[in-house]
Amino acid sequence: MSVTGFLTDSTLCIGCKACEVACKEWNQISDDGLMWSGHSYDNTLAFGAETWRHVKFVESTPIPGLGGNSPESVAWSFSSDVCKHCEKAGCLEACPTGAIVRTEFGGVFIQPDICNGCAYCVVTCPFGVVDRNERDGRAFKCTFCYDRQHAGLEPACAKACPTKSIQFGELESLRRAADQRLNELEARGVQDAHIYDPRDTSIEGTHSIFIVRADPVAYNLPPAPEVPTVYLRRGWTAAAVAAGMLLAGTVLAFLGGQQ
Amino acid sequence: MMNHIRSENQLDRGRPISEGRLMEIRREGESRVQRVPGADSISAGLSARADAESGYYGLPLLKPPRWKWEVPAYLFTGGAAGASAVIAAMARLSGTDPLLARDAQHLATAGALVSPILLSSDLGRPTRFLNMLRVFKPQSPMSVGTWILTGFSASSTAVSVLDLRSNHSRAGDKGLAIVQHATLGFAALMGLGLSTYTGVLIGATAIPVWHENVGMLPYHFGASALGSAVGLLELAGHQASKPLGLLGIGAACAETVAGARIEIKSDRALKPLKSGKSGWLTRLGGLLSGPVPLVLRLLAGRRSSSNNQKLRRIAAASCVAGAVLTRAAWISAGSASTKDAAVSLGLANRSSK
């Protein structure tokens, strides 16, 4: 089976949240409760153990001359966020039970029958995706619809998306499609579109690529996400030296304390 | 085009709708809105923005640690037990203070029994704690730590059991003595790992305040572990022991340096260690485990008069309290760190450049 991915194109997203609903319906996860955030139409706010797709609503001052907007109006762009399924995934590296695995489709999957809810993946995800469900006890995140992919179906969110803002397919062809789309947008005068696919950091790329307008930071997409294993060398070196000092100190104290 | 529309049924008759008017409506709304206590963290204000400067409405990118009180408690018990096993081994090998060797071993074994219980009870599915032992992953500090703790618990308990046995068997049983010494050495080795690996455990994560200190945390936690083991043993009646006095001074020195380093470094990522609830916890924990016991121990000096012993007991209590607070402070600082989206998005560095 080929390596698959998501291409989420925010220039096509209409903010309908059908992906959020489809995800919840297919995976049978409960609602997030009803509350008004005051942040545009985003009342989902963040990923969670029971929120695996999250449509972001970014209100910004438009560039004059694009799409007939005047600077006095608000430009509204939407982007459906999802687990990045990193090439080097912090959660997968950190999982002490081996519950988190890479599937044959290239996605990162938490096996619910293995996970014991230690919550270490929660603090090792550089995108704030994974969370522990305090009622259930285990950690959850987007499964990349592993079950549907097994049956040859596309993930529920991509299936439900009415504008093809969420595209699913073979990763490399999606990368080519993203480049093509960017050229197309530029030709139409959309100069501020960017592809978000951080391949030059330690996570070595993702399986969820995004096309967003303006700075990806406005969508809480970090410019330089790092897999926490990059800190291991410094940490273990310090631990070894600290342990050596502790041992030497104790030996010296007992030698010195004898007199 | 919108700003030229004037309609009869518009709420705001006669005034064009514009971005300026929208902001006015928002400000008006904000002045009227009744604030629910605690809601500010979710809704940072109706006029928060999503842009290159503030990120996505300033909402946190990262998730806070979901660990409950058991994990900071384990950082304390595991550390104290680990350092205590090292003390027990040295005291026994030097042969000077058999009582100290016995009590240090008791402390190590007590910690070895309590720690796995604390860790398991924090699991979302405690009955699945054995799943940790189905793999060994060197790239996961949690996995390495689980094996260190398992090795420590088994060997430290074995030392105590063998001690009970040797009390009943005749002296000069050579085979038993060899096994005893090997187990004792192994427990001390695991103890060294147990008192320092927790620095790597929280250091190798996505949380800025933790990974920014990954090179310092193992020293800090190791010193804290030693301080608390010394403190607990002194409180258990070893306030006249010279080796413990020296170790106490060493630990307090290291903790003073660790505290000073945190205060000196000015980095936005280190803010949770200096302000807010976690900042106060860090400073109080730092004072109680660094400067306070250091001064008291130096005042007590090397003579063991009853007055000096009293000073050392106060220093010991301060050390133990400081170690507990320090562990709680670091977990709490990790939580606070995830709320600062500007740091996790790299905006703090961007603006300073």
Do A110 and A100 meet the contact criterion of CB atoms below 8 Å apart?
yes
CA distances from B39 to A32, A204, B44, B53 (A): 16, 37, 8, 23
Asked if residue A37 has pLDDT above 90, the reply is: no
In a 13 Å sphere around the CA of A19, the CA atoms on its Cβ side amount to 32
pLDDT band of A3, cuts 50, 70, 90: very high
Interface residue of B57, B149, B239 to substitute, partner A, most A CBs within 10 Å: B57
A77-92 pLDDT, tens digit per residue, is: 899 999 999 999 999 9
Task: Search chain A and give the residue with CA nearest B132.
Answer: A97
- Tell me the Cα Rg of chain B: 27
This model of the complex carries an ipTM of 0.94
- The confidence score (pLDDT) of residue B19 equals 66
Which letter, b or e, does each residue of B300-334 get, where b requires 16 or more Cβ atoms within 10 Å of its Cβ? beeeeeeebeebbbbbbbbbbbbbbbbbbbbbbbb
Of the listed ranges A40-44, A52-56, B233-237, the one predicted with least confidence: A40-44
d(CA A220, CA B65): 19
- The confidence score (pLDDT) of residue B3 equals 41
Cβ separation of B96 and A117 shorter than 8 Å? no
* pTM score: 0.90
- The confidence score (pLDDT) of residue B13 equals 46
- Chain centroid, CA B210 distance in Å: 10
Cβ separation of A246 and B128 shorter than 8 Å? no
Interface residue of A39, A43, A45, A255 to substitute, partner B, most B CBs within 10 Å: A39
Which residue, chain included where needed, has tokens 């929280």?
A: B202
Tens digit of pLDDT per residue, chain B (353 long)?
344 433 333 444 445 556 677 677 767 766 765 554 444 444 344 456 788 888 999 999 999 999 999 999 999 999 999 999 999 999 999 988 999 999 999 999 999 999 999 999 999 999 999 999 999 999 999 999 999 999 999 999 999 999 887 776 666 678 888 999 999 999 999 999 999 999 999 999 999 999 999 999 999 999 999 999 999 999 999 999 999 999 999 999 999 999 999 999 999 999 999 999 999 999 999 999 999 999 999 999 877 788 899 999 999 999 999 999 999 999 999 999 999 999 999 887 655 43
Cβ separation of B50 and A58 shorter than 8 Å? yes
d(CA A125, CA A140): 12
- The confidence score (pLDDT) of residue B12 equals 45
d(CA A136, CA B301): 55
The whole-angstrom distance between A152's CA and the closest CA on chain B is 31
A139-176 pLDDT, tens digit per residue, is: 999 999 999 999 999 999 999 999 999 999 999 999 99
pLDDT above 90 as % of chain A: 83
What contacts B99, CB < 8 A, 6 or more positions away? B238
d(CA A160, CA A23): 9
Task: Search chain A and give the residue with CA nearest B145.
Answer: A96
- The confidence score (pLDDT) of residue B310 equals 94
SS3 of A210, please?
strand
Do B109 and B89 meet the contact criterion of CB atoms below 8 Å apart?
no
- The confidence score (pLDDT) of residue B33 equals 57
d(CA A74, CA A56): 15
- The confidence score (pLDDT) of residue A243 equals 98
Contacts of A236 in chain B (CB under 8 A): 200
- The confidence score (pLDDT) of residue B77 equals 98
Cβ separation of B206 and A126 shorter than 8 Å? yes
Of the listed ranges A99-108, A222-231, B29-38, B332-341, the one predicted with least confidence: B29-38
Cβ separation of B123 and A125 shorter than 8 Å? no
- Closest by CA position to B158, among listed B197, B108, B98, B93: B108
Beta bridge partners of A196: A210
What is the residue-wise DSSP string for B1-65?
-GGG---TT-SSTTS---HHHHHHHHHHHHHHPPPPTTGGGT---TT--EETTTEETT--SSPPP
- The confidence score (pLDDT) of residue B306 equals 87
Cβ separation of A116 and B217 shorter than 8 Å? no
- Closest by CA position to B293, among listed B254, B267, B266: B254
- The confidence score (pLDDT) of residue B10 equals 42
- Closest by CA position to B311, among listed B220, B257, B249, B225: B249
What is the residue-wise DSSP string for B167-233?
HHSPTT-HHHHHHHHHHHHHHHHHHHHHHHHHHHHHHSSS-HHHHTTTTTHHHHHHHHHHHHHHHHH
Cβ separation of B245 and A257 shorter than 8 Å? yes
- The confidence score (pLDDT) of residue B1 equals 37
Element (H, E) at A59: strand A53-60
Structure token pair of residue A144: 């990349």
